[in-house]
Amino acid sequence: MSDKRILDIIASPADLKLLSNEELSILAGEIRHEIVTTTSKTGGHVASSLGAVEIILALHSLLDCPKDKIVFDVGHQAYAHKLVTGRLKDFGTLRTYGGLSGFPKPSESPYDVHYSGHASDSLSVALGLAEARDLAGTDQKVVALIGDAALSGGMAFEALNNIGQAQTPMVIILNDNEMSISHNVGALMKHLGYMRASSQYRQARDNVQEHLESSGPVGKAITNFGRSMKESMKQFVIPHSMIFEQLGIVCTAPIDGHNIAQLRETLRAVLNADGPVLMHVVTRKGQGYMPAVRNPEKFHGIAPYNIATGEVIKSGKPSAPKYTSVFGKALVAEAENNADIVAITAAMKGGTGLDEFAEKFPERFVDTGICEEHAVGFAGGLAANGKKPVVALYSTFMQRAVDQMIINVALPKLDVVFAIDRAGIVGADGPTHHGVFDLVYARMVPNMRVLAPSNEAELVHALHTALAMGGPFAIRYPRGEGEGVPLPEAADVLPEGKGRVVREGDDVAILAFGRMVGQALGAADTLAEQGVSARVVDMRWVKPLDVQAIQAAAETKLVVTVEEGVIAGGAGEGVLGEMARMGLHTPALSLGIQDAFVTQGGVGQLLHEQGLDAEGIAASVQERYRAL
């Protein structure tokens, strides 16, 4: 018997058209094995990708990609898509520097339609593709694959409204697995739960469809059904009809997302419709790998792990506490002494370190779902009525709520703390997830104060300071382990706009922000060996800046700023602006993320590439200093 897998002979999606349903089911198992084997070494988004295998195989077996378009929402469920679109031989490089992206990436493959990475944007992109097709008069099929959690995002609702109005042919596959990063919350999730469980709906919906299908071709019947959604008879027959149908989008009854035959049969029908159709597919995150089934949140995004146990492989060296964990514990301590504190997150309770807070203060914890704009506006309302909300979001996701930060919080000077997690380079998730823009969007807002703690002890002080001072406040801190410094027994209020000198020096002054303080100290050691005396200042405050520290730095021969964010509009440019305002003419050098998106890879590797590790900082300073 040959050990050859079906997967090994799939050169392109066209090969799937030659396979029977039974063979596609075998292929699904092979793909799951490949995903688990590879991600156990590279880490990755395991549970989501395992849950969507049959959906992707059914799609590619019926569509003609890349002419037809599959638009992934977020894209962390796309590993099977990569494996059947010619990337099997490179799959072992997943999420590594120079290897395959963990998300769809158009520059990587013509089968990838757009740069996925953030939730709730697929429907807008898909509608744009469909409208462009209509304008060009072509016959492309357009399918958007979106999870139930992403569907709760505001952008998705805006798109649904437009799709219902446009009535252009496109298929929305709702991958309903009852999970986002954390367990789903909200009225829409309850509505979907009703749709999964209600035999009344299923029977009524099926009866209506059977009647319509008997009067003509399937495609025509489905379309006519969609166009009659607003009729009163529809409400009489299906009194609990889905919200999508009220918008003019036909919705199928829930089907088994791991049944290839059922998926393909339904897809054949909906792909022939001449209006928008939502195909409701129920799947299970982690399907085929029990550790991921038992703990889908852990396997949403996981480091390399032991296949047999599902446990993350430890490095063997003692580890410092992670910034996220330190923040979570510090917030619990603050909340024990302040009953007005309310913690808010957007579908990432565990990811932002709020598990313990939610357990201890359930009445003061709010998970809004994947709705960052709402989370910040909601926080503004809480603050306007006397509470002290702390909004914990990843930097890359906080970007979506900048308008609410400005209008709903900063303009009225409300007492809201933004705990901006995953600030700076985050590693293998790549450009859609690096938190390199928050220094810009936070410091540009009037009334906002911004702290960038350099270690985990400073983070404890920063949170206490933000809560004590009040007003709009942002604290940004990186992903991963801290510096290993002892945590304070009691938190201090940091003097506003004052940094701290952590190393004296006379030749150059390095003004470092956040995690870059440690790298600056390493650079100072190297420079000392080369005969250059470098002062290092932990600036602490991004806004207001430490003016006295800047004046003192200008007394050296070179002022250097180092930040783990984009240079354009960042903290370094803020320092240069202060120098110009004060009439200081000392030569200056700003180091940070260049005007380009940062690829995926290890954090240390990427910092080195950007010249932001100790070696790179020392080399840049030395080059500029010698040129003076």
pLDDT value, residue 319: 82
Q: Compute the distance between CA of residue 439 and CA of residue 445 in angstroms, rounded to an integer.
A: 10
Give DSSP secondary structure letters for 227-265. Answer: HTTTSHHHHHH-TT--HHHHTT-EEPPPEETT-HHHHHH
400 is an active site residue: yes
Contacts 24+ apart (CB under 8 A), 501-505: 501/535, 501/536, 501/537, 501/538, 501/549, 502/536, 502/537, 502/538, 503/534, 503/535, 503/536, 504/535, 505/533, 505/534, 505/535, 505/536, 505/556
Q: Could you confirm whether 285 is annotated as catalytic?
A: yes
pLDDT of residue 208: 37
pLDDT recorded at residue 224: 46
Q: Hey, is 601 helix, strand or coil?
A: coil
Token digits of residue 252: 């199928």
Which one of 32, 105, 285, 388 is the catalytic residue? Answer: 285
pLDDT at 297: 87
202 catalytic residue (yes or no): no
pTM: 0.89
At 240 the pLDDT is 42
Which residue positions in the chain have pLDDT lower than 70? 1-2, 178-242
- What pLDDT score does 318 carry? 72
**Which sign, positive or negative, has the C-alpha torsion 477, 481, 483, 489?**
positive
Distance CA 123, CA 329 (A): 38
Q: How far is CA 614 from CA 525, 532, 538, 617, 621, in A?
A: 9, 14, 15, 5, 11
Distance (Å, whole) CA 368 – CA 361: 16
Adjacent-strand bridge partners of 334: none
Q: If you ran DSSP here, which 8-state letter would residue 222 be given?
A: H
Would you tell me how many other CB atoms lie within 10 Å of the CB of residue 337? Answer: 8
Catalytic residue among 105, 400, 443, 515: 400
DSSP 405: I
Please tell me the distance from the alpha carbon of residue 165 to that of residue 162, in angstroms, as a whole number: 5
**Token output for 467:** 């809560």
Predicted pLDDT at 164: 94
Instruction: Please pick, among 34, 54, 297, 372, the residue that the annotation labels catalytic.
Output: 372
**Per-residue model confidence (pLDDT) at position 178:** 66
Give the Cα separation of 248 and 518 in Å (integer): 56
* Cα–Cα distance list, 602 to 246, 557, 608, 613 (Å): 47, 34, 10, 13
